[in-house]
Structure 1
Amino acid sequence: MNDIRNEKEKGLIRALITAFEGQEEVPKKADIEARARQLAPLLGYDGDLRLAVEEAMIAIDTWMGSGVSLVDNEVYHDEEWVYKRDIEWTYSDAYEGYLKGEKWQPSLVQKLSDVGSKILGQLQDPTSEGSWNRRGLVIGHVQSGKTANYMGVIAKAADAGYKFIIVIAGIHNNLRKQTQERIDEGFIGRSSDPENRVAIGVGRNRDYPYPATLTNINEDFSKNTAAKSGWKINDFGKPIILVIKKNVRTLEALHKWLKELNAQGDGRISDVPMLLIDDEADNASINTNKEDISPTRTNAMIRRILGLFAKSCYVGYTATPFANIFINPDAYDDDARDELFPRDFIYSLDAPNTYFGPERVFLDEDSSSVVLESITDCEDYLPFSHKKDDAVVELPPSLYRAMDQFIVARAIRNLRGHSGKHCSMMINISRFVSIQQEVRNFISIREKRVREAVKANYMMPEEVSSRNQYMAALRAVFESEYSSCEFEWNEVKASLMGVFDSLRIFVINSKSDEVLDFKKYERDGVGLSAIAIGGLSLSRGLTIEGLTVSYMYRNTRMYDTLMQMGRWFGYRPGFEDLCRVHLSEDSINWYSHIAEASEELREQIKRMRRDGMSPKQFGLYVQSHPDRLLITAANKMRTGEEVVFNQNLTGSIREITCLPLDSNVNTENEALIQEFWRSGFGKEIEKTKKGWFIPDVSVDQISAFVTRFQVHSGMEVNKKAALDYLYAISERFQHGDVLLISKKPEIAAEFKLGTQQRSAKSATSKGWQLSKHRLASRGDEKFGLTESQLAQASEEAKNDPNSKENKPSDIHYRIVRKKPLLMIHVLEPTETELIELKGKRIPAFGVSFPNGLFGPENEIRVVANSVWLQQMYGSFEDDPDAEDDYDE
């Protein structure tokens, strides 16, 4: 019965999307509601119309950009072969039809298809003669639909003639199973469950030419599963696909099977075009060994499998590409052959406009102030640095409050008609299996107490129910977080009991036999309410459906680890306003920094594409990126090893974001500002809405100011980098601009800047670390730009699908800026108990550098060691993620 109702609801949503497809203006909700009332009886749907209308609205207003690619122009490749050949798109058309059946908007499906064709064009035409191999990388966004993209590429590749397709789906069993299920639906067309081999997804079409598969949802590849399948690689009638885990034993078994049963002649398979998709390609696939020793085992096995085929293409997919770009493009091993560097192409995907990503969570001040909550009490209960046998006496109050948020948010979602949809909470506070089980015990006790309190009070008058501590806590969360959700407390309270009907608590790790199987609940017509507790198993690739509240207290600053832990990114149709993310202040700062760096990286790909640059040149740029060592060498440098590298600050900003508390230092810095201001830095001063602007100041003057400005010891490397880079580019830029930022012009006669208020609640006696590692406000960098430059920045933003409302960001301003910009601030700390900070004025500065300085002549040489790393990024001494992970 539930299946029939769900299909009818899907049919109504599809009909609504089709009815409004192609209109120039987005229809109003009232128009969609009116059409839904007309169509529902015709389609036999008698359920709640609200959810169907809501989903149709989101689908109708969803769009996606085409992305951009870098290609190796020195090697001839005809990327138009896809359009020149007469290909029958059987698998591709079936997949696109399946997506439309899953309520994807037709124009979005078409855009996905167009992007898939472009990526396919970067592969080799499988009908090409001779031997060939290509290497590429597709950069997506965390939880943004990379799987949907590569499934589209797989379908098109199968149509074009690729006969053997391998998908390497991460390092964990649960991710491999999840990927197998998705490929079963979108490409294979049959459930690979040996107990239930029914037609599903694309296979519901009677004429569908089912591909062969050598793996299933229960079994990874092995010689036995291959034998049981009855298929061999030379059965050319259909494409063969495998979904395997990124595990050395599995890869060795596949390599041995291919070599024994299918290799001919010289040991290479000469007549079978092969495509290998490496999901989470930055994890475990990278050769982390030094160049003078053999590659790591996983890396070597992937390369050996590719080397067995005379015709092969490797495409890595990742949202965190930093490690992939550091691969030596020229590395070669006699046994493993070519490295996995994406020498032929790098394709950067755009996320749809409905994507709930890092920009909304961390960079947009309006949304981040609602979504983000800082964890300040966990260290007293379960500190960052803990052992697997440490006793857990109690959980922090902030975690229980987050759990209350989840319960209230679920009740609101039920009121919105989402009771049949999944809703989840993620708790990630330890990598140890034993600690995760202890957390589960406390959460279970709390859940039982809240459930009993709700059962006894949800129908009681408020004066009675409010006496219960758990009911009072739920109301307090509603009042502080969700009072504007269009429902009153009495409605939400009455809905609370329904939350517990399908609330389940899971521990997800390599030792647990619990499976977060959303499909199982869907088959039963149940919208699961899940509280998932885990470590790395929750952090890589696994989709947590309906994730609404996240609580993560982990100590890592490694880019890829942090971004992959961000399970809260994704799509939140109809409940984005209810989502909450709880992190330590340090993690909030680092996520914000990474979000900005990632945005900057994508922007550079676009610029380099316009300049006709290659993946290898992009690799050289990333290798000189200021944050390179955070990604590649943090663990090595804990042993004191020095690393010498070139650093390039093109299109970036260097700011003083950790501030000293010493009154004498701050007084002297303020006197320095007055001295240079009084002299006008040797130029004429212009008044602006933001303070005072001084154009065309000599770089020598700017360098003199920065040299004399005293900074916190942890900012010395930032100051030195800014000075060194000003010198490195001084031949090209002999002048820069200066912006004295002030909102209180009335004290200009004293040459004293008006203060900007900033929260200092996280400040300690060691110093004041600014929130999100940012000093300047967004938009400060536009000052000094001409009207034509501002128009150019606006045009850059319009062409950037990730730009909010097509408004330029500081990255776009740097693209058009033609000289460095020194910004000078005085901050007034708020929300602090430190006597050293109360009522004080704290000067600071930042230097913004223009874009486009990619060459080695614009780089500075850095010798980095563990002291440098600690100054630049903070201590890694207690970083548990730098060690082996116990839960995997």
Structure 2
Amino acid sequence: MSGETSAQEKNFRNGLIAALSNREQVPTLEDVEALAKQMAPFFNYAGDLQDVVNEALTSVVTKMSAGVSLVDPNTTHDDQWVRKREDIKWVHSNAYEGFLQQDGWADPMVQSLSDVTGKILALLQNPQEEGSWDRRGLVIGHVQSGKTANYTGLIAKAADAGYKFIIVIAGIHNNLRKQTQERIDEAFIGRSSDPADRKNIGVGLNPGYPHPATLTTVDGDFNKNTAEKSGWKINDFSKPIILIIKKNVTTLTALYKWLRELNATGDGLISDVPMLMIDDEADNASVNTNKEDVNPTRTNAEIRNILNLFAKSCYVGYTATPFANIFIDPDAYDEKVREELFPRDFIYCLDAPNTYFGAEKVFLNDATSDTIVETITDCEDLLPFSHRREDSVSDLPPSLYRALNQFLIARAIRNLRGQRKKHCSMMVNVSRFVPIQKAVRDLISLRERKIREAVKANYMMPETTSSSNVYMQQLKAAYDEEFFSVGCSWEQVKAELNGVFENLHLYVINSKSEDDLNFGKYEKEGVGLTAIAIGGLSLSRGLTIEGLTISYMYRNTKMYDTLMQMGRWFGYRPNFEDLCRVYLSQDSINWYAHIARSSGELMEQIYRMRQLKKSPKDFGLYVMKHPDSLLITARNKMRSGTEVTFEQSLAGCLREAYTVSIDDTVNKKNFALIEEFWKRGFDGTLENTRKGLIARDVPVKALEDFLLHFETHDQWQQEKEIAIEYLHAISRQYPHGDVLLISPTGGEGGDQPYRLKHQLRKVGNGQPKDRGWHLNKDRVASRGDESLGLTEGQVENARAAAADQAARAGGSGEPSDAHFRAERNKPLLMVHSLKARDRQEISDPVATFGISFPYGGDGTTITVVANKVWITQNTGSPEEEGGEGDEWDD
């Protein structure tokens, strides 16, 4: 399709969105279809209406709440300065918002973004403020949810308000820096920074647009030569200046030298230039490698040096990982670094729009996750977690070939839905080593060629003929197993398959690759690229893979930040969300679910701290002492010493024994222990709930005795000891707790006195070999169990808190267990009897428990000593972090 036809479709779509945005009520699909038929002749549009209609409907139903901020309550900062300044002309900001509308954003979403970026701007300093000042803040978003759109909006507003020098630090990889430069070129600079094609683009197409200056290009980072050749000073420009650079020691050093030598005055300061620094992927400042150019201490020293050159500076970090190392990695920074980069002035949590395809939908919502997530069980013999760069790859696991078949079918279905001009991608992330990535590419390429030949020979043939071909059989199996209910028949899909290969290309994405995954090039030609991207670290952080539909990742890490950033599949999937599949190991599935729950609880904690008028420093201390912070901090200590000591708090946490023993002797003892305590009512008062009994006001001593005698699986033994110690530590403040004996109506068993009814649970793949059962998604209790035994008033309070939080910061509005936990305000022990569904090797019931700790605890912490065995077990293999002599793909 020509670029002219593509522009015609874009104009029609934007006109349709504009017309729909003015309606008071949310339109139905039928409303949009009817309006599209009426409007198409006025735009001379004769193409396929289906995808235009779906895009327009998605755009107008997308909503985003304002988010929530945590601001130092003792500050003297005037957050009304933007409103008070009547001199601001929003030239760059208005142009950016118009650009978003041209790109298909509905008016309400553009306004929401403008409101949020306006709130963040107000948290910065007024650039007209006299004297010296600095502000430090952090914006927490979601992976692939639009952080770039947010900070671009902030940059545009800051430039209009008078920030004259703007630095965007765009991660540590070249491809991410280039991607960010291209976006800023289009949305803020308004001119391509490609030296071979300096034409006006994006916002620059507006007549009279005042193009900001830049010293970086799509191909060139800021470097010593750039600085020496320019000879420019910041004040040589009347316009704002923006640089998009890597988080790289050499780059930062060159920039610092240029700023100091050509711009600083006699006192060593740049006193008359308000500066804004945006640190994208802020948590990646402390990635622990032995590559000199990404040394965390030196990198952050250079960032601090640049900030300290300016008498007027603002630093705003952007991250999608709430457990970012900026809070909790004591080895990566000295105290001065922590003080200067810590977001002491504000933290702003962005809300994810309602159409965001995020962790909740992929991992926590059983109705959707069971369809989206596929478990990899066949990789170890061919592409094991632990491998070396010189290992040979003889073949690929069947699950990867199955994922490839699903990708081809999904592309065909998307074409049938009118998405031929939309990009459609598959991601394969199985190794950090370049030679292994190339070997995987070669094997996928070989299989893709065989499938292509089979399709070409058979797609027009009757089914009796085509079904005799083994590759056509596999494609039909992929359709029958995954996509039979998506609205397209096999006959339609088969007829469409040949067109799938027209623009299909394979890419190896790493720092040494010459492959250029350039979606923009195809967009200019009005072509939808079908891309299979094979890589490692370059695919794991920041890089946007357009139209990502099938993801296959087999990597061995349990690090929060590493895992979340590997989640390229999060984002927006308009009209193809039902086709998306994510292939992961069972360990990764469990840990993603765990991270999603923990991250959600951290967001709730920020909301709660705002209500209590706490500061960002309070939140930083909370995160530093959170038990899950150990999983980040410990990785830097794995190669030195055998024991690590941490101060830890379990305030507001739920800790569950999700790895359970299936040893019959162990479980008989545990059920006997439950019976013993049950007979005496756990030394409390027994009452009924809708799902079993609750023992109220149980002395903490009884809880401790029960836990001490309860035998857990070896993998959970230290966790149990930590829980008991913390329970004891808070016993003065919380001398009593509750015990839930969860026994659901209709459950199996429970016929004998003092016996719980069993909860049936699925047994996932990749189970421990040492007489254990690792529960799916690291979860024992069902959602809402913590509401059992609460009064109607407490439940209503939890619902009201959840609704209030949703109104301010987004979310479903349904109370989570954390909301119920806040209402109980005492320790809660939950006791379970579980039975495996359809697994003969786990035939007998299994006893386990979880313990929920109240918020508060008067800041109580306990000292935890973790040995190297425990650290390795709980953080995964150290291979993800690299060691001496490792060769990384980036």
Counterpart amino acid of 2:762? Answer: S
Structure 1's 652 and 616: CA in aligned 2 closer, same or farther, altered over 3 A? same
Give distance in 2, aligned partners of 1:199 and 1:878: 46
Partner of 1:234: 235
Give distance in 2, aligned partners of 1:245 and 1:870: 31
Residues 288 and 296 of structure 1 are in contact (CA less than 8 Å); yes or no, is this contact kept in structure 2?
A: no
SS in 1 for 2:284: coil
Structure 1's 804 and 691: CA in aligned 2 closer, same or farther, altered over 3 A? farther
Residues 687 and 694 of structure 2 are in contact (CA less than 8 Å); yes or no, is this contact kept in structure 1?
A: yes
Can you give the 5+ residue segments of structure 2 that lack an aligned partner in the other structure? none
Aligned 1:505-654 pairs, distance under 5 A: 505-654=506-655
Partner of 1:49: 49
Give distance in 2, aligned partners of 1:819 and 1:120: 40
Partner of 1:698: 699
Residues 550 and 582 of structure 2 are in contact (CA less than 8 Å); yes or no, is this contact kept in structure 1?
A: yes
Give distance in 2, aligned partners of 1:757 and 1:879: 36
Q: Deviations over 1:59-101 (max 9, x none)?
A: 1111111111112223311111111111111111110111111
Residues 651 and 849 of structure 1 are in contact (CA less than 8 Å); yes or no, is this contact kept in structure 2?
A: yes
Q: CA deviation at 1:688?
A: 3.2
Higher deviation after alignment, 776-785 or 733-742:
733-742
Partner of 1:812: 819
Can you give the 5+ residue segments of structure 1 that lack an aligned partner in the other structure? none
Give distance in 2, aligned partners of 1:453 and 1:337: 59
Structure 1's 332 and 685: CA in aligned 2 closer, same or farther, altered over 3 A? closer
| From 781, 784, 788, the counterpart of 1:783 | 788
Structure 1's 865 and 764: CA in aligned 2 closer, same or farther, altered over 3 A? closer
Give distance in 2, aligned partners of 1:270 and 1:287: 35
SS in 1 for 2:584: strand
Aligned 1:353-752 pairs, distance under 5 A: 353-743=354-744, 744=746, 747-752=750-755
Determine whether 1:175 maps to 2:176: yes
Residues 424 and 530 of structure 1 are in contact (CA less than 8 Å); yes or no, is this contact kept in structure 2?
A: yes
Structure 1's 387 and 825: CA in aligned 2 closer, same or farther, altered over 3 A? same
Determine whether 1:795 maps to 2:769: no
Residues 385 and 879 of structure 1 are in contact (CA less than 8 Å); yes or no, is this contact kept in structure 2?
A: no
Give distance in 1, aligned partners of 2:802 and 2:887: 41
Counterpart amino acid of 2:342? Answer: F
User: What TM-score do the two structures reach when normalised by structure 1?
Assistant: 0.95
Q: Deviations over 1:754-786 (max 9, x none)?
A: 212223343233121111111111111110111
Structure 1's 539 and 791: CA in aligned 2 closer, same or farther, altered over 3 A? same
Residues 423 and 528 of structure 2 are in contact (CA less than 8 Å); yes or no, is this contact kept in structure 1?
A: yes
Q: Deviations over 1:712-735 (max 9, x none)?
A: 111112211221222222222222
Partner of 1:772: 777
Residues 166 and 240 of structure 2 are in contact (CA less than 8 Å); yes or no, is this contact kept in structure 1?
A: yes
Give distance in 1, aligned partners of 2:128 and 2:810: 40
Residues 425 and 531 of structure 1 are in contact (CA less than 8 Å); yes or no, is this contact kept in structure 2?
A: yes
SS in 2 for 1:243: strand
Residues 503 and 529 of structure 1 are in contact (CA less than 8 Å); yes or no, is this contact kept in structure 2?
A: yes
Partner of 1:753: 756
Counterpart amino acid of 1:815? Answer: A
Give distance in 1, aligned partners of 2:170 and 2:202: 20
Q: CA deviation at 1:288?
A: 10
Q: Deviations over 1:184-225 (max 9, x none)?
A: 011000111111111111111111111111111111112433
Structure 1's 124 and 279: CA in aligned 2 closer, same or farther, altered over 3 A? same
Residues 327 and 340 of structure 1 are in contact (CA less than 8 Å); yes or no, is this contact kept in structure 2?
A: no
Give distance in 2, aligned partners of 1:288 and 1:641: 20
Q: CA deviation at 1:14?
A: 2.2
Partner of 1:283: 284
Q: CA deviation at 1:338?
A: 5.7
Determine whether 1:842 maps to 2:849: no
Counterpart amino acid of 1:887? Answer: D
SS in 1 for 2:603: helix
Give distance in 2, aligned partners of 1:606 and 1:280: 22
SS in 1 for 2:64: coil
Q: Deviations over 1:659-718 (max 9, x none)?
A: 113211110101111222222223443333322233332322222221211111111122
Structure 1's 751 and 427: CA in aligned 2 closer, same or farther, altered over 3 A? same
Residues 328 and 341 of structure 1 are in contact (CA less than 8 Å); yes or no, is this contact kept in structure 2?
A: no
Q: CA deviation at 1:460?
A: 0.8
Q: Deviations over 1:421-453 (max 9, x none)?
A: 000000000000000000000000000000001
Counterpart amino acid of 2:814? Answer: K
Q: CA deviation at 1:328?
A: 6.8
Give distance in 2, aligned partners of 1:417 and 1:762: 40
Partner of 1:25: 25
Q: CA deviation at 1:880?
A: 6.0
Counterpart amino acid of 1:789? Answer: Q
Residues 666 and 842 of structure 1 are in contact (CA less than 8 Å); yes or no, is this contact kept in structure 2?
A: yes
Counterpart amino acid of 1:300? Answer: A
Structure 1's 361 and 331: CA in aligned 2 closer, same or farther, altered over 3 A? closer
SS in 2 for 1:826: strand
Aligned 1:292-307 pairs, distance under 5 A: 296-307=297-308
Give distance in 1, aligned partners of 2:676 and 2:334: 58
Partner of 1:822: 829
SS in 1 for 2:70: strand
SS in 2 for 1:296: helix
RMSD: 2.2
Give distance in 2, aligned partners of 1:109 and 1:195: 33
Partner of 1:63: 63
Give distance in 2, aligned partners of 1:230 and 1:493: 62
Partner of 2:247: 246
Q: Deviations over 1:249-296 (max 9, x none)?
A: 11111111112222221121111111111111111357999xxxx971
Percent identity at matched positions?
A: 60
Higher deviation after alignment, 189-198 or 823-832:
823-832
Residues 67 and 810 of structure 2 are in contact (CA less than 8 Å); yes or no, is this contact kept in structure 1?
A: no
Higher deviation after alignment, 151-160 or 733-742:
733-742
Give distance in 2, aligned partners of 1:131 and 1:23: 48
Partner of 1:143: 144
Higher deviation after alignment, 446-455 or 809-818:
809-818
Residues 635 and 878 of structure 2 are in contact (CA less than 8 Å); yes or no, is this contact kept in structure 1?
A: no
Aligned 1:86-105 pairs, distance under 5 A: 86=86, 87-105=88-106
Q: CA deviation at 1:605?
A: 0.7
Q: CA deviation at 1:45?
A: 1.3
Counterpart amino acid of 1:849? Answer: F
Q: Deviations over 1:572-618 (max 9, x none)?
A: 00000000000000111111111111111111111111111111111
Give distance in 1, aligned partners of 2:878 and 2:31: 59
Residues 307 and 337 of structure 1 are in contact (CA less than 8 Å); yes or no, is this contact kept in structure 2?
A: no
Partner of 1:851: 855
Partner of 1:762: 766
Q: Deviations over 1:484-530 (max 9, x none)?
A: 10011111111111110011000000110111100001011110000
Q: Deviations over 1:796-826 (max 9, x none)?
A: 3223448764222212222322222211111
Give distance in 1, aligned partners of 2:37 and 2:23: 20
Q: Deviations over 1:8-36 (max 9, x none)?
A: 22222222222232545321111111111
Counterpart amino acid of 2:700? Answer: V
SS in 1 for 2:435: helix
Give distance in 2, aligned partners of 1:791 and 1:5: 55
Give distance in 2, aligned partners of 1:31 and 1:464: 43
Partner of 2:328: 326
Residues 320 and 563 of structure 1 are in contact (CA less than 8 Å); yes or no, is this contact kept in structure 2?
A: yes
